Each structure stands twice: as structure tokens, then as C-alpha cells.
Amino acid sequence: MKNKLLFLGPPGAGKGTQASLFCKKYNVEHLSTGDLLREEVSTGSVLGLKASEIMNKGELVSDELVLSIVEGRLISEKKGWLLDGFPRNLIQANSLIHLLEKINQPLEAVVLIKIDDQFLIERLLARGRQDDKEQVIINRLKIYRDKTTPLINLYEKQGILKVIDGNADIDVVFSCIEKALS
């Protein structure tokens, strides 16, 4: 099973859900920048407070902050890893290329989970996280389309992109991911 991975997709596509299942089953480190940022917010630090303001608007926090979080974790990682929510723009994607060269651990596959807008809005409103308000969801989706979707082309050209239909039940989506990564 491949174990140097990146999960990509719009908010609510199921990246976090599928990444957790995969990492538990295959003993891979789950590196979710959203979860790591929310951990920082919960400490009440100055950095956390700044990040929380940005996250509550559905904007992206600074590349420097996110990169420093990911770099520290990846460098110390001995088993496989799964990046969830990073990279989110071309600057982060280029930084990741350099970082992975430095640690000599090439990315093996990128899983793109696709989902219809109507489903993702329903899912996120039902979850009710701080940033799951309708206007914020719409902004997160716009930022995904503007800043993150250009990465799809990049990974497609590298021949490592696996496209998965995220509209199905959780276990069905998981089976498709396992098949694509085996």
C-alpha cells in the first residue's frame, strides 16, 4: 500500500474522514493542517488567536505558519504520512516539492475526492464547526476553486493523481481509495 500521500478536495469532501480511516488501518501519520491549526487555537496563544480570526472567515492562514507546522512534523516522520489540507496553493505546493526532496521521500499518490456542491453544503451545515456557516462555506469553496484547484493539473501531469467519487457512503468511498492506492 502506498504511504506517502496527499488528500485533496473541496471542504466537506470527506478528506479528514477518509484520511483518519486510512491512517488507522495502515499505520500512517495523519497530518491535517486544519486539525493542527485548531489545536493551536485551543491553546489560546497569540498565534492561535490570529489563525482563528482567519479560519472563521474561511480564508487561508499564512503560508509561513502552515509550512513551519508541516515541516517540523514531516522531517521527524519515520513511517508513512498522509497530508490532509496541505498544500492549498501553488506556493505551498512548491515548498512541499523542496521539502520532500530534502528528506528524500517522494510523494507517491494524490487522492482527489470530488463531491457535488449541494452535498458538501448539507454535510458541513449538519456538522456545525465554527467555520461551517453558510457564507463562510461559500468563501471556503471559492478559495478552493481559485487557489487549490490549480494543483490538480500539477499532480495530473506527474501521473500520481487518483480521482475518487466522494458522493457515496463513507465505507464505499474508503474501498475506492484503498483500491486506488494498492
State the DSSP string of 92-160: HHHHHHHHHHHTT----EEEEEE--HHHHHHHHHHH--TT-SHHHHHHHHHHIIIIITHHHHHHHHTT-
In the complex, minimum distance from the CB of residue 171 to ligand AP5, in angstroms, rounded to a whole number:
9
Work out whether 48 is an interface residue with ligand AP5 (CB under 6 A): no
Q: Which of residues 65-124 bind ligand AP5 (CB under 6 A)?
A: 66, 85-86, 88, 92, 123-124
Cα(153)–Cα(146) distance, integer angstroms: 13
Cα(60)–Cα(139) distance, integer angstroms: 10
Q: Choose which of 27, 106, 170, 175 interacts with ligand AP5 (CB under 6 A).
A: 170
In the complex, minimum distance from the CB of residue 148 to ligand AP5, in angstroms, rounded to a whole number:
9
The identity of residue 14, as a single letter, is G
In the complex, minimum distance from the CB of residue 68 to ligand AP5, in angstroms, rounded to a whole number:
12
Which residue in 120, 101, 131, 115 sits closest to 166, CA to CA?
115
Cα(146)–Cα(42) distance, integer angstroms: 29
Which residue in 118, 120, 107 sits closest to 158, CA to CA?
107
**Active-site hit among 123, 127, 142, 162:** 127
In the complex, minimum distance from the CB of residue 119 to ligand AP5, in angstroms, rounded to a whole number:
8
Residue 79 a catalytic site member: no
- Region near ligand AP5 per CB under 6 A, out of 12-20, 41-49, 95-103, 157-165: 12-20
Residue 179 has a CB neighbour count (10 Å cut-off) of 10
Residue 38 a catalytic site member: no
Interface positions with ligand AP5 (CB under 6 A): 9, 11-17, 33-34, 37, 54-55, 58-61, 66, 85-86, 88, 92, 123-124, 127, 131, 140, 169-170, 173
The catalytic residue positions are: 15, 88, 127, 129, 140
